[in-house]
A and B are shown apart, each in its own frame.
Chain A
Amino acid sequence: MDLSKSEGQQAEIVQLIAQHQSRLRGFIRSLMVRAEDVDDLLQEVNIVLWEKADQFEPGTSFWAWASQVARFKVLNQMRKYGRERFVFDDEFLAELADVAEDRFSEIDQRRCALDHCLRQLPTTQRRLLDLRYFESRSIAEVATSTERPVGSIKQTLYRIRAALRDCIEKQLSQPQSI
């Protein structure tokens, strides 16, 4: 980054990077076959965003630019892995990234809608989500503590997410009231 940039410009870039952390992480996670390297990759994306900040034109969409950077990083990482283990191929990755870029661009609205939808869940379902996501327990741990088989936990989590997904879409299609 051009160090002659004003303090205000630098602050703006840091602010933009900060505001996009959770969506970048989610975006990367949705493109990876396995989740373990998401954090490291995100940090690498952050560095690029900071160092190449002069390529970003203020006034244009930061997400459009940042998601391109992230997509490129994921692609590189996949190619690196390619020899040792299965990864999505370039073509499929591009398809997936197009969808993800679109979905994650509205993440704030989706988060809002999700907050609303979570409140409508029955307590038992909410408890299961808490165990899995809030307390970050593995599926196996959730299965042990609820005395249910692993397969059934996965299935139930899938159904809850599917219900939340429907609810979110419904929320988003309603006219905005502010």
Chain B
Amino acid sequence: MINSEEKEFQELLQQAVDGCLTNTEGRRLQELARGNRERLEELVDHSLIASLLFEESGDESVGDLVDFLTADGPPDMVNAKRLVNRQSLAIAAALAVLLAVGSLFFSRSNAPDTAGRAEIHDNSVAQLTESVGVRWESGGGPIAGAALAPGILQIAEGIARIDFYSGARLVVEGPAELEIVSAYSAWCRSGRIRAHVPEQARGFKIFTPSFELVDLGTEFGMDVSKDGAAQVRVFDGEVELFSPMEKQSVLGGQEVKISPSGESAPVLSGESNGDQYPTFSDLQTRATQAAATKLERWRSWNRSLAGDQRVVARFDFEKNSTPEAVVVGCSPAEGRWPGKGALEFRRPGDRVRVNIPGKFNALTLAAWIRVDTLPQRRQALLLTDEYRIAHLHWQIGLLGEVRFGAKLKEGVRRREFERPASPVLFDMQQIGVWNFICTSFDRETSSVCHYFNGQKVSTHKFVFGQPLQIGSGDIGNWSVPINDTRKVNPVRNFVGRMDELTIWNVALEPDEIAEVYNQYKP
């Protein structure tokens, strides 16, 4: 039974952590906790947990610090100016080293701070190289190009190619359930597979419910049904099968069937159905066909958008410079599909200069991008020149979050800027993968929403007293004022590819954004 004083303390604690203590309440809280270690600990612990939870939301502490140390867009503090004038070079140098070792990125993870120079760790062991018509059992699932960490892949339908870092390659045809265990092993509960295991990956293993297969450098096919019964055909080379019952070698040209309990028997040539195993060339053909169909569908949609009154500006990157978009640097590249134009941004000066007049009470920015490097610093998506009032800034933040912002009024303190950030979207797994990012702004509902691959990932209150503008700006970079007194040139160049960017004068509904993603994803 909680006594009334305890109850009072709890209520004051709630007020302290989630509300706002009045003078009287503060005084009483102090009175009740003074000299009482248990209550002091409870108070601190609740505050600590709340801090950690707030931090989960993409807390800006690290970003703030970098802003503060470099005093670049936006310069947050009057004090920072003082500091930067005196010490900007030293700090910039120190920060450059810091960013180079990736420790800012690392500092958010669970690393104990006793660590010296931190390294970025990657737990991936394979890559999803190709996926044709794949529907994942769990909805989302990885996208072609994604790095794969150990874990279970459940393919409801479609066909995918997985390249293990050991050099082993698998084609998997759904329905299938495969667990990636390491660069040298996988667990197949069910599905049809063809594996190519080069000399470098000799010893690559596949476990199934009824046996274990060790590859000695070969190409083989495997068909595992849900009850554990399986069939293995070796096309070339040799594999060893270990079951609870026995160990046996299967040589090129041979095929065996294995019962759920692990008993094996040869498959006679008359009974063989060699076509049941997927092939790499078949996958490639299907991939090429699927890409061509999708590109054609996208092109027809692209043409139809020319008549859409809601589109303020659209860059499809099918041609080089257009009057609306002057390409500075950048290299032509391949987009989401073979034959789709894109621009590659790599050098610090690469950018596309745009000029988009108008004032907007609602906007949707949507782009298909392939980020080719870990963020670690801000990367521009679309940044208007300088830092002018009501001119939008759209970029990827230090931690891999998407930020949409604009300056509210003159001044340099943080509260003069609004820049809601999405959760962290770009991490190791997203490097080299085509993703669809989208941000909408609606003055009427005072909101900004971030979307990632068609899904809404965050909604923010964004109270802005005036319409937003774009005017002159850069895609993939930032043009800072020549007479910038801060003397530090903020680096904002995007590193990766972009093959489409559209600006709408409405806040698109979640359904429409999901539809655009689903129809035109790679």
Contact = CB atoms under 8 A, between A and B. Distances in A.
Interface string B49-86: 11111111101011011101100000011011001000
Given A3-B87, A13-B94, A46-B65, A161 B56 contact: no
A167 to B, nearest CB: 10
A168 B49 CA distance: 10
B43 to A, nearest CB: 7
Interface in A124-146: 129, 132-136, 139
A158 B42 CA distance: 11
A38 to B, nearest CB: 10
Contacts, number: 193
A11 B514 CA distance: 44
A77 to B, nearest CB: 15
A10 B90 CA distance: 8
A157 B46 CA distance: 10
Contacts of A133: 50, 53-54, 56-57
B40 interface: yes
B46 A22 contact: no
B62 A18 contact: yes
A155 interface: yes
A108 B111 contact: yes
B98 A129 contact: no
A19 B48 contact: no
B21 A33 contact: yes
Interface in A15-52: 15-22, 25-26, 29-30, 33-35, 39, 42-44, 46-47, 50
Interface residues of A, number: 69
B112 interface: yes
A34 B48 contact: no
Contact of B40 (A15, A96, A115): A96
Contacts of A63: 113
Given A18-B62, A18-B103, A86-B23, A30 B48 contact: yes
B502 interface: no
Contacts of B489: none
Contacts of A86: 22-24, 26-27
A122 interface: no
Contacts of B103: 15, 18-19
B14 A7 contact: no
A1 interface: yes
Given A3-B90, A19-B113, A135-B57, A14 B95 contact: yes
A16 B113 CA distance: 8
A95 B83 contact: no
B104 interface: yes
Interface string B25-53: 01100100111010011111111111111
B487 interface: no
Q: In the complex, which of the residues A8, A10, A11, A139 has the most CB atoms of chain B within 10 Å of its own CB atom?
A: A11
Given A46-B65, A96-B43, A161 B110 contact: no
SS class, residues of chain A in contact with chain B:
helix
A134 B56 contact: yes
Nearest to A142: B18
B414 interface: yes
Contacts of B15: 154
Given A1-B87, A33-B21, A157-B18, A14 B98 contact: yes
Given A15-B98, A34-B21, A103 B45 contact: yes
B117 to A, nearest CB: 8
Nearest to A114: B52
A34 to B, nearest CB: 6
Contacts of B76: 43
A111 interface: yes
Interface in B2-24: 10, 13-24
A29 B47 contact: yes
Contact of B61 (A21, A30, A92, A164): A21
Given A15-B104, A42-B64, 10 more contacts: A1-B90, A14-B98, A18-B103, A25-B51, A34-B20, A95-B34, A114-B53, A132-B53, A154-B15, A168-B49
Q: What are the 8 closest A-B residue pairs judged by CB atoms, nearest first?
A: A26-B51, A86-B23, A10-B94, A21-B61, A133-B53, A30-B47, A11-B97, A19-B107
22 contacts: A7-B93, A7-B94, A11-B95, A21-B64, A26-B48, A30-B43, A30-B47, A33-B16, A33-B21, A33-B26, A43-B64, A50-B69, A86-B27, A96-B33, A96-B44, A99-B44, A103-B45, A114-B53, A132-B53, A133-B50, A136-B54, A164-B49
Interface of A: 1, 3, 7-8, 10-11, 13-22, 25-26, 29-30, 33-35, 39, 42-44, 46-47, 50, 62-63, 85-89, 91-92, 95-96, 99-100, 103-104, 107-112, 114-115, 129, 132-136, 139, 154-155, 157-158, 161-162, 164-165, 168
